[in-house]
Structure 1
Amino acid sequence: MKQFFLILAFAFSFNLVAQDNINYNEVSQDLLQNIMDGKSYAKEVKILEESTLENLVTQLKTDKHKIAFWVNVYNSFIQISLTENPKEYEDRGAYFKKERVKIAGEILSFDDIEHDILRRSRIKLSWGYLRKYFRPKWERKLRVKNIDWRIHFALNCGAKSCPPVAKFTAEGLDKEFDFMTTEYLKEQTTYNKDTRTAKSVSLFSWFRADFGGLCGARQILADYKITSEKPKKLEFNNYDWTLSLGNFRKIPN
């Protein structure tokens, strides 16, 4: 009996050490890469399911680590869930609210990841101006300190108008985000020089506070050289919610 408990204690200790040695940012990258390559991703899903809040808090120390990890996880599970059951997309409100991603001892929805973690507890339907208070421990521990508006051009929600899916790293996040932002906005934006009117993606309207308001959105178009000058007026394209999976993009080195 004593020998049995010694073996059990050793196995438990070994599992703790194994978890401590896991690089969760790399796991999120491998998960997404396997999906993009059409390979099995069961190993990575299992690792995430067995992670704890302490595991992730220890490793995801900076906003860049958190953002790269959570964007990869979000984009991966969008592809997984809608490949397995595309009919779920017929009720998108329920789809994004459904708890389905088991990680850090919790089962999270896509709304949890996007609005609570990546947008620092923002109320979804408030243009980004209203915040939630008295949030649970896991959310306060895992959410970013500062919202990076470029997440909106990196998150893929499965729709045709969404940005392409790319793999992100904490080390190269600024360069990777700038590339995806530029490429996506070039594809989504037209500009009338005579009236100085830009027409671009509806994300600028839906999450306007994240961009510094509509004035900030117009400045972004100029700063990223999407338009030749800062537009005086900003209009928005209709968002195409047609289901579109497998829209992958490789970021150049």
Structure 2
Amino acid sequence: MADSAVDERDAAEASPTTVAADLLVATRTGDDPDPHLAALAGYDHDDLAPVRTDRRTALAFWTNLYNAGTQLLLERRPGLYESPLRGLRFFRADAVTVAGRGLGLDAIEQGILRGGRSKYGLGYLPRVPWPFERRYRIDCDPRIHFALNCGAESCPAIRAYEPARVDDQLDLATETYLDAGVEYDPEAGVARVPRLFLWYRGDFGGASGIRAFLREYGAVPGDADPTLRYDSWSWERAKGKFA
């Protein structure tokens, strides 16, 4: 009991970004996540001011929480993932509570990290936001799609993101995922790309934006203008896919 009390006190005194990262690490190491969950739930909006006002802090905080939330749901409520209604039950179930508000994976990804865009409509449709999402949403950075892990085999690997290094870390995550997931045939002029590019086409600026993105990260040559083909997606459950 004493050790638990110390853990709860330490978590409550840490910064929100530290608590989010520590929660993610706990899901990997098997340590008790509950002190970190309690600290997140107990914050008020003043405590979370840096998450609202600093882009790098927000990217690291919400990405770590999304990935931690995924691992917690897979551990504690695996039936939601295996459900035929996974898109509703798993992604909308409360994964973490922040400042008294239960948040599902869709709320974190679509409502906050993607700036209030629907997961339907290939990235072009807005999402009707909750007040909490409106308060914390940030402009969509398409690199998040190569950092967020929803538990599927085709998802990218999980890393713990730090505000000071988040841009370099997102670049690394993007390069790593594209290196493994893009196949370019120069003779046919075709690039086979992960299905994320189709689902979130609008986040990348359409087909021309996807091609520019692929060139920027060295997935295709700098002078290439390939036809895009989208690979299938494996939804096989892959818990604990850490880098």
Whether these two folds match at TM > 0.5 is yes
Secondary structure, in 3 states, of the residue corresponding to 1:122? Answer: coil
| 2:5 aligned partner | none
Contact between 2:153 and 2:235, CA under 8 Å: does it hold in 1?
Answer: yes
Give runs of ≥4 in structure 1 deviating > 4 Å.
none
Secondary structure, in 3 states, of the residue corresponding to 2:118? Answer: coil
Bigger Rg, which one: 1
| 1:109 aligned partner | 104
Shift of 1:222: 1.2
AA partner of residue 108 (structure 2): I
The answer to whether structure 1 residue 120 and structure 2 residue 115 are counterparts is yes
Shift of 1:136: 3.5
State the distance in 2 between where 1:43 and 1:167 align: 18
Contact between 1:218 and 1:231, CA under 8 Å: does it hold in 2?
Answer: yes
RMSD: 1.6
Residues 1:32 and 1:190: Cα distance change in structure 2 (over 3 Å): same
Secondary structure, in 3 states, of the residue corresponding to 1:235? Answer: strand
| 1:6 aligned partner | none
The answer to whether structure 1 residue 248 and structure 2 residue 217 are counterparts is no
Secondary structure, in 3 states, of the residue corresponding to 1:164? Answer: coil
State the distance in 1 between where 2:210 and 2:17 align: 30
Of 78, 83, 88, 2:75 maps to 83
Q: Deviations over 1:137-185 (max 9, x none)?
A: 32221111x2100000000000000000111011101100000000011
Contact between 1:202 and 1:239, CA under 8 Å: does it hold in 2?
Answer: yes
AA partner of residue 206 (structure 2): G
Secondary structure, in 3 states, of the residue corresponding to 1:209? Answer: helix
Q: Deviations over 1:30-73 (max 9, x none)?
A: 11122222222221111011112332135542121111101100
| 1:236 aligned partner | 230
The answer to whether structure 1 residue 143 and structure 2 residue 125 are counterparts is no
Shift of 1:22: 3.4
Paired residues in the alignment total 229
| 2:217 aligned partner | 224
Shift of 1:108: 1.1
When normalised by structure 2's length, the TM-score is 0.89
Residues 1:101 and 1:185: Cα distance change in structure 2 (over 3 Å): same
| 1:162 aligned partner | 155
The answer to whether structure 1 residue 44 and structure 2 residue 49 are counterparts is no
Bigger mean CA offset, 185-194 vs 94-103: 94-103
Structure 1, unaligned stretches of length 5 or more? Answer: 1-17
Contact between 1:205 and 1:214, CA under 8 Å: does it hold in 2?
Answer: no
| 2:54 aligned partner | 62
State the distance in 2 between where 1:136 and 1:109 align: 12
**Identity score, percent:** 34
Residues 1:212 and 1:232: Cα distance change in structure 2 (over 3 Å): same
State the distance in 2 between where 1:81 and 1:99 align: 9
Contact between 1:102 and 1:108, CA under 8 Å: does it hold in 2?
Answer: yes
State the distance in 2 between where 1:37 and 1:123 align: 33
When normalised by structure 1's length, the TM-score is 0.86
| 2:182 aligned partner | 189
Secondary structure, in 3 states, of the residue corresponding to 1:171? Answer: helix
Bigger mean CA offset, 22-31 vs 169-178: 22-31
Contact between 2:50 and 2:58, CA under 8 Å: does it hold in 1?
Answer: no
Bigger mean CA offset, 218-227 vs 173-182: 218-227
The answer to whether structure 1 residue 178 and structure 2 residue 183 are counterparts is no
Contact between 2:184 and 2:191, CA under 8 Å: does it hold in 1?
Answer: yes
